[in-house]
Amino acid sequence: MLSLSIAGGIFLLDHKIKEHVDSTRLQGSREEVLGGRVILRNCHNKNMVFGKIKLDEESCRELSLAGLGCVLGEYWHELIHGRRLGRMGLAMVLGGGMSNYMDRRNKGYVTDYISFNVKNKDMRRMVFNLSDFCIAAGTVLWAVSSLLPDKKRKRENI
């Protein structure tokens, strides 16, 4: 199952990066890299969605777990009826979502560590981690897959 390997790989890689960031960078630290275009940070996000949704710790965990359950259900459906592209996308969402959930469960916050030094001040304040990128990219892949015509239905109509 390639898609489960993708999910596991994302989970493990982001977990290791977060461990490294937490052990080598002070919380709130900033370091510009790649000619100042990228900022490496250590930000502990106790809330959700860039800190915009403010919930208590337990509610954040429960909402994250509920979201993972929904994605897992859709992944199961894609295994039986879906396309490889949809499975790959949902595997990316599962791997990233599980990494962020485990942070919330074990530490009470998610470690974010990448910002972009762009002109837009609001965008510059946003801090991401690998899981966030995988969740976003995986969602796009799954959405594109669901918009593609179904091969079985196409054959039946001929």
Domain ranges, residue 133: 2-22+47-110+128-148
Looking at the domain assignment, is residue 86 inside a domain?
yes
Backbone angles phi, psi at 55, to 5 degrees: -130, 160
Q: Give the position of tokens 């599980």.
A: 98
> pLDDT tens for residues 98-146?
999 999 999 999 999 999 999 998 888 899 999 999 999 999 999 999 8
Number of domains in the chain: 1
What is the H or E stretch that residue 45 is in? Answer: strand 38-45
> pLDDT tens for residues 64-111?
899 999 999 999 998 888 889 999 999 999 999 999 999 999 999 999
Looking at the domain assignment, is residue 31 inside a domain?
no
Looking at the domain assignment, is residue 16 inside a domain?
yes
What confidence tier does 13 reach under pLDDT thresholds 50, 70, 90? very high
Contacts of 76 (CB under 8 A, 6+ apart): none
**3-state secondary structure string across 101-147:** HHHHHHHCCEEEEEEECCCCHHHHHCCECHHHHHHHHHHHHHHHHHH
